[in-house]
Amino acid sequence: MTELHEVQITEEKPLLLPPSQPVPGKKHSVETPYGLVAFTVHGTPKPKRPAILTYHDVGLNHQSCFEPLFRFEDMQEIVKNFVVVHVDAPGMEEGAPLFPLGYQYPSLDQLADMIPCILQYLKFTSIIGIGVGAGAYILARYSLSHPDTVEGLVLINIDPNAKGWMDWAAHKLSGLTSSIPEMILAHLFSQEELSGCTELVQQYREALVGAPNLSNIQLYWSSYNTRRDLNFERGGDVTLKCPVMLVVGDQAPHEDAVVECNSKLDPTQTSFLKMADSGGQPQLTQPGKLTEAFKYFVQGMGYMASSCMTRLSRSRTASLSSAASGDGSQSRSRTLSQNSESGSPQQPPRPAPGSGAHTMEVSC
């Protein structure tokens, strides 16, 4: 009998990285009329599907703003269906050089005007945008200028209004008594989180105080505080044409601004999600709830079928279906199952004019 020898085979390239080691994205930068902009691409383009494009808030970059959300396990079931582009505002990316003294940082409008250069470079034709704070404003401004390229927007902590005189005076006064990091922390987190000095607040305070590009961050902060009014008007010409999901934490610093924004947008296109126990940064503190809401938002655009639902939602939908009437159950099944892989979305039916449709408001 032939003698058997044990042979050890070493795999040169593991097929899958452990969950603790997310697949690294490919970094790019492109020159625009307003300077260089860096962005990171995860995944490959899917035929006839938009890219998910994110834009972060002041004091953050794409990692510190979105990593907990996009590393969340159930989020992987969503993003595998799309290519993801994380944009860093100029000078905010890791290892960014400091801008010279007197450098004229782009306005938020000009930052929005950089996005077409990114899409042209990548040869992408449409996006689903996810923005936080200043990033939400930038994506909304971009959508107003390029509505045909935006299929949906998730706007977290958006303030569409310019600062009034009282806000301007209060900002100047706080600048005399507070440091830049403390002012930005008050923009990012709720008063309850700040007074409680939570672990998250402490982590981000240390990151801001020790940031090697703090002078760059201050320029982005200044541009945010000198933003123009978006002038949204319900029923008017200046509005967002695509489906929009507005998100804010309960008692977050921008709660009133998001509520006001909700009142100015088309109620048949807008959903409003107020998240309890999430503080000022729901994408950091409640990634699970936000993932589930985003999944329903994308499904409403026709891009994901029930087979792509998260485990939590499959369980919840099964419970709802068993309790619902036969007609309602069948209707829900049709809505979630349409267009699994065709790419081209089937839009869900919209309420007829005058039908009394209201903005969907959800607290969770």
pLDDT digits (tens, 9 = 90+) for 116-157: 999 999 999 999 999 999 999 999 999 999 999 999 999 999
- State the Cα–Cα distance between residues 90 and 187, nearest whole angstrom: 20
Give the CA diameter of the chain. 93
Q: Looking at residues 90-117, what average pLDDT do you find?
A: 96
Residue 242 lies in a domain: yes
Residue 312 lies in a domain: no
- State the Cα–Cα distance between residues 175 and 168, nearest whole angstrom: 11
Total number of domains in the chain: 1
Q: What is the pLDDT of residue 22?
A: 47
Q: CATH no. for residue 104? A: 3.40.50.1820
Q: What is the pLDDT of residue 310?
A: 47
pLDDT, tens only, 154-197 = 999 999 999 765 565 555 555 545 699 999 999 999 999 999 98
pLDDT, tens only, 189-234 = 999 999 998 999 999 999 999 999 999 999 999 999 999 999 999 9
Residue 3 lies in a domain: no
- Residue 329's contacts (CB-CB under 8 Å, 6 or more residues apart) are 321
pLDDT of 293 > 90? The answer is yes
Range of the domain at 234: 26-306
Residue 111 lies in a domain: yes
Residue 6 lies in a domain: no
Q: What is the pLDDT of residue 6?
A: 44
Residue 14 lies in a domain: no
Q: Are residues 284 and 132 in contact, defined by beta-carbon separation less than 8 angstroms? A: no
Residue 337 lies in a domain: no
Residue 198 lies in a domain: yes
- State in Å, rounded, how far the first CA of the chain is from the last one: 68
The partner residues of 55 in beta bridges, in order of sequence, read 87, 131
